[in-house]
Amino acid sequence: MVTLLASVLLTFGPAQVDQNAPHKVAHGTPKVTAEGTPVTQAEALKIFTQNQSLLSRALEMKVPGHPMVPNREVPVTREQTVSELYRVYAAFKPDYKFTPLPTKYESGVIKIAAPQRGELLVLVKFGFVGPFSPLAAGPSDTLSVSQFGDTLGMFISRLAQLTHMPTPKWSPILGAGGVD
């Protein structure tokens, strides 16, 4: 899990921002400046592609296929984001070390139609997406940069938890004596 999180931080870690050009990060990648501006399909595609490559290397398991988000400058939709997260969830499912307890949620607050509704309910049930997060229950069909980042961060964190069996050395609760 440490390797995965370190790889994520190295890949998506902080970039140095040029103070004279607040819309650009130091290495030349365009940066969205307004908080409410939705993430575009092109931006989502780039992040999903980098994420897939990173996860495949860190977990030593290939994710079949490529992200299905089009490379266009229009906002990425809730449905596209859910489909992509579910695709990665399903690809790594054989590598999960345990099944987490299901998360309780109100299905009435989930704002998405079929066929992605079933996918989103699975992601919420197993803790990959928050039950009241902007992706699951937000008023908009799009996500801002910070909302998209939070969604992806929660997803990667849960994936890291499920693909790693902790050792009793660092997790005393797993030891022979259990909890004191």
Q: For 120-157, how does the pLDDT look when each residue is reduced to its tens digit (9 = 90+)?
A: 999 999 999 999 999 999 898 999 999 999 999 999 99
Where residue 168 falls among pLDDT bands split at 50, 70, 90? Answer: confident
Contact 109, 131 (CB under 8 A): yes
Rounded CA-CA distance 132/4 in Å is: 26
Average pLDDT rounded to a whole number, residues 24-42? 67
Whether 128 is covered by a domain: the verdict is: yes
Rounded CA-CA distance 86/124 in Å is: 11
Evaluate if residue 44 carries a pLDDT over 50.
Answer: yes
Whether 133 is covered by a domain: the verdict is: yes
Domains of the chain: total: 1
pLDDT at 151: 95
Whether 174 is covered by a domain: the verdict is: no
Contact 78, 137 (CB under 8 A): no
pTM for this entry: 0.75
Rounded CA-CA distance 146/133 in Å is: 12
Instruction: Give the mean pLDDT of the chain.
Output: 80
DSSP code string of 98-125: S-PPPPP--GGG----TTHHHHHHHHHH
Whether 172 is covered by a domain: the verdict is: no
- Express each pLDDT in 73-127 by its tens digit: 999 999 999 999 999 999 988 888 888 888 888 888 888 888 899 999 999 999 9
pLDDT at 132: 92
For 152, the domain range is 2-166
> Cα angle at 179 between 175 and 180, to 5 degrees?
115
